[in-house]
Structure 1
C-alpha cells in the first residue's frame, strides 16, 4: 500500500499558521498580566485651581509647608562711598607771604607735633611789614610822650587848650597807624603765636599733630602763590567713609543707622554707624552725603579708597518668605498657599527687596498663612 504524503507547497502554510497562533497566545497572556497589575496612586489631583495631594502621594514626603509670620523688616540698600580724612584733622598750610623757601623742616610722611616748625620762608614783604610796624610803634611812643607833656602843662595852665587838643589828635592817629601796621604784620605771620619771625624770614609752625601727607615745594624754590597750600598735615587716626545717597533714600537715613562697608582693598567688611547726615543736598548731583566715622590708628584706611556702604532702612512691620517658596510663572511670581490640610492654591505675589535668602512680600499674602517653602516647583503647571 502506498504512503500518502502532503504536497510540498502545504508545508510553509502550516508553519505560518502555527507561528501566528503562538504570537496571539503570547499577546493574550501579556494583556492578562497587565489587567491584573494594580494602578499607581496619583501624585497630584487638580480640582479647578485647587491642588490636592492624596494620602499615598510621594509629594507628601518632599513638600515642606511653613507659616508666614509678621516681623520687623529692615530693608538694606547700597550706596557708593569713598574714604575721606576728617576735615577737623586736616590742615592745608599756606605760606603767609610770597618768598623763597630757605628751609624745609618736615617732608612727606614725617610725623609732626603741634607747634613744630614745618618750613621757613624768606619774604621781602614781611621785612617791609616789620619795618612799618616798628616805625608806627616809634611814632606812637613819641605821640604818647607829647600828649603826657601837654597834659602836665595844661595842669600848670602853661599850655594852651589848642596845643593839648592837637597832642590828643596826634596820639589817636599814631595809635591807629600802629594798630594797622601790627595787623598787617600779624596777617603776614609776624606776631601770632603760630609763626615766629626773625628779620625777613618767617618760621611757619604746624597747628595740629599728625603727619605730612602732601608737599608741593622744595627747599630753595620761590613760592609766589599765597592762596595755594605748600604743605598738608593730617591726623588720620580717625577717618570718615562718606557715601552719597539719592533723594529717594533720604527718608531712610538717620544718625546711628547700622551700616556695613565693603572696601575694594580688603576682603572683610567693616561694621559701623552713621555719624552725620548732611543738612543740604548737593545741587549738582542731587545727593546727600552720609558720613560714617572709623578708628584708623592702624592706618589701613587711606583717604581716596573706594567702597560700598550697605545701610539698613528704618524697620517696618512686614512679611518675609524664603526664596525657595517663590515660583516664577512667566512674568509673575507666585506661591502655593495651603487652604486645607494638603490642599493648595496658587497665589500671585508682589515682591519687594531680597534680604539674604528671603524676600519681602508686599501683597498677596497675609500674616499666618501657610505656604509651600520646599519643592513647590513640583506643583507648578
Structure 2
C-alpha cells in the first residue's frame, strides 16, 4: 500500500524527462519530389498547317475611256457575262465623225494633186521638187485621217477578256471625261488567294505543290461543315518581311468551283512530310528571358535544365530542332518547386493514381 505514491512519482519524472528532449529529435523525413517523364524518340509524321486568306479574281480589269464624250449606251450591268470583243460602251462620236470626214477630204485632195503633178512631171512641165512636196502632203493627210479614225474607234469600247461585270461606274447621259473609270470586269473562271506563312514553313513549300482549300461560304450548298477543293502553290514571293519574318504565297484555283466568288473567306491546308522529328508535349516547355527550355533528368535522376530550339507546333506537341537527343528523359509533370540539381523520383501516372498520390 505504501508503494503506490512512489510509483506515481517515478512515472511523472519519466514524463518530464521526455519533454526536455531537443526538437531535432522529432524532425520529419523530407517528402520525395515525384515527377513524370517522357523519353523522346524520333517519329515520322506528316504535319498539317492551316493559313487563311481571301479569294480574289485572278484577272481584274478596269475599263477607262481614252476619248472624252457623253455616254450614249452601256450594254452590260453588274453580274452580266461578256465575251472578248463584245461591245460594252458607246460614246457620242459626232465631233470625231465630222473631223474624220474632213481628214478624208484632205487626203482625197492630196491624192488628186499628186496625180496632177505626176502628169506634169512626165511632160517636163514642172520641177521634180513639186512632186516630192505633193507626196509629203499626201502622207501627212493619210496620217491625219488614221489618227482621227483611231480616236473615233475609242468611242466604241469593247471587252478585252471573257469575264463578268463586277462594277458599273457611270450611266448613259453622263459626261465621261478622258480616263474616267466606266466598268470593272473580272475573269472568274480561275481564282487565287494570297496567304502569309512563317519563314520556317516557307522553306518547305515549292511551286506547283498541291494544297487543300476550304471555302466556308459553300458549305450550305453542299450540306457539310465546309467545302474543300484542290489548289496549288502558283507563286512564292521572293522576299521576307523583316518585322514579321513571314513570306507571301499565291494559291490558285483553276478552274474555280461553282459558287466561289472574290471576297470569300478560305482556309489553305499544307501537308508537309517530315522525317525523324522529335516531338514534345507543348505543356512540358518552359519559358525564360533567354528562350525556351525543358527539365531533363540524368541517369541518377538528377534534374538538369536544357535550352531548346523549337520549330512547328503540331496539335498539343511541338517540334524540337536542337537541344535534345533521342532517348533523353524530359519531365512532363511535377514542376512545382522543381530546381536544377534536385534528385527526383520518377513515377508512372497509372501506378501513381492507383496508390492515391500524384506528382505535384
TM-score, length basis structure 1: 0.61
1:91 aligns with 2:49: no
Q: For 2:41 and 2:307, locate their aligned partners in 1 and report how far apart those are by CA, in whole Å.
A: 13
SS in 1 for 2:311: strand
Change (3 A) 1:170 1:253: farther
Partner of 1:109: 79
Partner of 2:336: none
Among 124, 135, 139, the residue aligned to 1:175: 139
Corresponding position of 1:129: 96
Answer whether contact 1:257 1:274 (CA < 8 A) is retained: yes
Of 134, 145, 158, which residue of structure 2 is paired with 1:205? 158
Q: Is the 8 A contact 1:250 1:288 kept in 2?
A: yes
- Work out which of the residue numbers 37, 42, 52 in structure 2 matches 1:69: 42
Would the alpha carbon gap of residues 113 and 154 (structure 1) be closer, same or farther in structure 2, given more than 3 Å must change? same
Among candidates 51, 54, 74, match of residue 82 of structure 1: 54
Shift in CA distance, 334/282, structure 1 to aligned 2, threshold 3 Å: closer
1:150 has 2:117 as partner: yes
* Superposition RMSD in Å: 4.5
Specify whether residues 289 and 226 from structure 1 end up closer, same or farther in structure 2 by C-alpha distance, changes over 3 A only: farther
| Cα separation, 1, equivalents of 2:97 and 2:199 | 54
| 1:127 shift after superposition | 2.9
State the SS of the aligned residue for 1:240. Answer: strand
Per-residue CA deviations over 1:43-88 (Å, capped at 9, x if unaligned) read x988xxxx89xxxxxxxxxx8966512658868474x53221112x
Question: Could you say which structure has the larger radius of gyration?
Answer: 1
Inter-CA distance 355–187: structure 2 relative to 1 (3 Å threshold): farther
CA deviation vs aligned residue, 1:178-216 (integer Å, no higher than 9, x gap): 3134224314425xxxxxxxxxxx443322222221112
What TM-score, normalized by structure 2, do the two folds share?
Answer: 0.64
Deviation at 1:240? 0.8
Is the contact between residue 200 and residue 311 of structure 2 (CA under 8 Å) also seen in structure 1? Answer: no
CA spacing shift, 1:135–1:111, aligned 2, 3 Å: same
Alignment partners' CA distance in 2, 1:380 and 1:224: 79
Measured after TM superposition, the shift of residue 165 of structure 1 is 1.7
The alpha carbon displacement at 1:108 in A equals: 1.7
Q: Is residue 2:238 matched to residue 1:238? A: no
Deviations 1:106-147 (A, max 9, x none): 22212222232223332xxx3333333332233223323332
Q: Deviations over 1:290-321 (max 9, x none)?
A: 31111354443322234455657896874223
| Number of equivalences | 300
Gaps (5+ residues) in structure 2?
1-30, 220-224, 334-346, 353-357
Q: Against the structure 1 CA distance between its residues 286 and 229, is the aligned structure 2 distance closer, same or farther, given a 3 Å change threshold?
A: farther
Q: Is the 8 A contact 2:40 2:327 kept in 1?
A: yes
> Is 2:294 aligned against 1:334?
yes
Distance across 2 between alignment mates of 1:249 and 1:358: 17
Gaps of 5+ in 1: 1-43, 53-62, 191-201
In structure 2, the residue corresponding to 1:169 is in which secondary structure?
Answer: helix
Paired residues of 1:335 and 1:348 also in contact (CA < 8 A): yes
Say if 1:81 and 1:306, in contact at 8 Å, map to a contact too.
yes
Q: Is residue 208–residue 232 contact of structure 2 (8 Å, CA) maintained in 1? A: yes
- State the distance in 2 between where 1:205 and 1:188 align: 13
Tell me, yes or no, if the aligned pair for 1:71 and 1:319 is still in contact at 8 Å: no
